[in-house]
Amino acid sequence: MQLSLALLLVSTARAAKEFATDGEHVANSHLALLKERWLEATDRSGGVWGPALANWSIAAKRERKENGKFLIAFADDYGLGNRINIVTSTLALAMATGRSLIVLWPHTDCRHTNHGDCDPTSINDLFVENETRAQWGVGSHAHAAISRCRDDVKRHAKPLKRWAIGEEDDRKTAEHLMTHRLGPEWRKEDPYLCTYGFFYWGWALTCNQYLRRAWGLDPNAGNPWAEFGGLMSWLLGDARASIVSRVHKALGDKNIKCDVGMHLRRADGLPGDGTQTENLKWKVHLEEALAGLKSPNVYIAADHESKKTKWMLLHYLEERADTHILTLGHDTKAADRKSRSGLLDALAENFILSSCTTLLPRGTGASTFHDVAVARAAFQQKWNESRAASFAFRRKDRPARPLISPALCADLDNAPNATVR
């Protein structure tokens, strides 16, 4: 009895030292204050899709309570950017069809696997689940559906009947979602459908003319960068305090403005002997972005295949007059995406990049991690269509058919088959 009482007193004392911040308990008052400021500064309204998301939230709770219709997002493969993309894309499809959302994003012990895309963090390690908006937990009722979806892939079933679109090609998925009528009647005979994607396709729903009309939006308009960023911020805008503290470490108490952010992926050159070498073209890009700026604040994020180029750029910035390098405090180390702390750093870097006024590179498609930052920046910074258009993925042989990243809806209207069905 005395031991039980002692344990109760200890647990009560610990609880008293914790501070609640909109669904998350943090260890001290300073961190709680940082988290409150973060939430106040983050637009989580959903933007133009806010009313549709509010309506969906009610419908999703009903479906979950009644064991109704679900979409299961397979966010258990590839990197951080891909996982955020598939979760946001599945939210967009759930919103359009009135289904509840389930997210399959478990953590993996990278020490005991050779899988190159293992993730030592789960979605709950990175983001706070806001049950008043959306629940994403995997209930026991979903396990059988998850197994059946995996079986479809293992057997290379054609089409993938249990998958939302039944196509492995992301471009075909995007075309389908952009042009078809979607609503509660869509595939109603299938209570559980699964979603997957190497790249993201949810932006196509923001260009669906039928869906836009249904919610009072101009069917011929649409800024998919910003609108996709709005969906993402609505669901995944409440980052864990461990992420917030990292962002604060770089930006400081005064929330320093980031003028130029650069993301490097596989930037280093690889000569014949396979040794990584710095790539000077990135210095040219950075010099162009910094031209005319007074006392700029700069952040550079890089993967482990860009460390030589990053070191070269940091050295250049150190020698440049009146330039402030924003840092997490260990920028000389190569990024470690197979450790928990490395993934927390990665998400913090993504949020920092999306706060930057200028984001490099301006082209897209090289990295979904970069594209996530662009989409969030487009929404949080209220980019207009002309600014967003500079980040649209275009190729000379396919000017209006993005393989990876959203162009403007106006561009896509001229593409073949881009008519509402």
Q: What pLDDT sits at residue 393?
A: 57
CATH code of residue 300: 3.40.50
Q: Is residue 62 part of a domain?
A: yes
Q: Which two tokens stand for residue 248?
A: 């604060």
Domain boundary pick from 200, 216, 232: 216
Percentage of residues in the chain having pLDDT higher than 70: 80
CB 282 within 8 A of CB 309: yes
Q: Is residue 420 part of a domain?
A: no
Q: What residues make up the domain containing 344?
A: 241-412
Closest CA to 206 of 230, 187, 235: 230
SS3 163: strand
Closest CA to 225 of 247, 197, 200: 200
Helix 224-236 to helix 80-97 angle (10° resolution) is: 90
- Looking at the fold, whether 331 and 204 belong to one and the same domain comes out as no
Count of structural domains, the chain: 2
Minimum mean pLDDT range among 22-26, 65-69, 151-155: 151-155
Per residue, what are the HEC states of 78-106?
CCHHHHHHHHHHHHHHHHHHCCEEEEECC
CB 378 within 8 A of CB 388: yes
Q: Is residue 227 part of a domain?
A: no
β-bridge mates for residue 262, sequence order: 300, 360
Q: What is the pTM of this model?
A: 0.88
Q: What pLDDT sits at residue 227?
A: 94
- Looking at the fold, whether 254 and 167 belong to one and the same domain comes out as no
- Looking at the fold, whether 253 and 360 belong to one and the same domain comes out as yes
Domain boundary pick from 165, 182, 216: 216
Q: What pLDDT sits at residue 242?
A: 95
Written as one letter, the residue type at 84 is I
The CA–CA distances, whole Å, from 319 to 158, 296, 325, 339 equal: 58, 13, 11, 32
Give the mean pLDDT of 185-190. Answer: 89
Beta-strand relationship, 24-26 and 19-21? antiparallel
CB 347 within 8 A of CB 126: yes
Q: What pLDDT sits at residue 15?
A: 42
Categorize the per-residue pLDDT at 157 as very low, low, confident or very high, splitting at 50, 70 and 90.
Answer: low
Q: Report d(CA 26, CA 14) in Å as an integer.
A: 11
Q: Is residue 168 part of a domain?
A: yes
Q: What single-letter DSSP state applies at residue 49?
A: G
CB 331 within 8 A of CB 298: no
Closest CA to 338 of 115, 107, 110, 121: 110
SS3 23: coil
Give the mean pLDDT of 38-47. Answer: 95
Q: For residue 365, is it left (φ>0), alpha (ψ between -120 and 50) or beta? A: left
Q: Report d(CA 395, CA 389) in Å as an integer.
A: 14
Residue-wise pLDDT for 1-16, tens only, equals: 444 434 433 343 344 4
- Looking at the fold, whether 148 and 254 belong to one and the same domain comes out as no
Q: How many CB atoms lie within 10 A of CB 407?
A: 23
Q: Is residue 336 part of a domain?
A: yes
Q: What pLDDT sits at residue 217?
A: 93
Residue-wise pLDDT for 310-327, tens only, equals: 999 999 999 998 999 999
Q: Which two tokens stand for residue 90?
A: 């599945």
- Looking at the fold, whether 348 and 301 belong to one and the same domain comes out as yes
Q: Which residues of 45-63 are buried (b: 16+ CB within 10 A; e: fewer)?
A: bbbbbbebbeebbebbbeb
Residue-wise pLDDT for 271-324, tens only, equals: 766 678 898 999 999 999 999 999 999 999 998 888 899 999 999 999 998 999
Q: What pLDDT sits at residue 356?
A: 96
Q: Report d(CA 338, CA 336) in Å as an integer.
A: 6
Q: What pLDDT sits at residue 402?
A: 46
State yes or no: pLDDT of 266 exceeds 80: yes
Closest CA to 310 of 271, 339, 337, 280: 280
Q: Report d(CA 102, CA 92) in Å as an integer.
A: 13
- Looking at the fold, whether 164 and 250 belong to one and the same domain comes out as no
- Looking at the fold, whether 196 and 306 belong to one and the same domain comes out as no
Q: How many CA atoms lie within 13 A of 342 on its CB side?
A: 16
Q: How many CB atoms lie within 10 A of CB 44?
A: 19
Q: Is residue 6 part of a domain?
A: no
H helix or E strand, kind and range, residue 302: strand 297-302
Categorize the per-residue pLDDT at 163 as very low, low, confident or very high, splitting at 50, 70 and 90.
Answer: confident
- Looking at the fold, whether 264 and 189 belong to one and the same domain comes out as no
Q: What pLDDT sits at residue 236?
A: 97
Q: Is residue 13 part of a domain?
A: no
State yes or no: pLDDT of 155 exceeds 90: no
Q: Is residue 23 part of a domain?
A: no
Query: Which distant-in-sequence residues (6+ apart) come within 8 Å of 216 by Cβ?
Result: none
Give the N- to C-terminal CA distance of the chain in Å, as an integer.
70
- Looking at the fold, whether 73 and 205 belong to one and the same domain comes out as yes
- Looking at the fold, whether 198 and 281 belong to one and the same domain comes out as no
Categorize the per-residue pLDDT at 149 as very low, low, confident or very high, splitting at 50, 70 and 90.
Answer: confident
- Looking at the fold, whether 150 and 291 belong to one and the same domain comes out as no
Cis peptide before 271 (omega within 30 of 0): no
CB 74 within 8 A of CB 194: yes
Query: Which distant-in-sequence residues (6+ apart) come within 8 Å of 147 by Cβ?
Result: none
- Looking at the fold, whether 263 and 356 belong to one and the same domain comes out as yes
Helix (H) and strand (E) counts in the chain? 17, 9
Q: Which two tokens stand for residue 231?
A: 């969906």
State yes or no: pLDDT of 22 exceeds 90: no
State yes or no: pLDDT of 413 exceeds 70: no
Domain boundary pick from 180, 201, 216: 216
Q: What pLDDT sits at residue 158?
A: 67
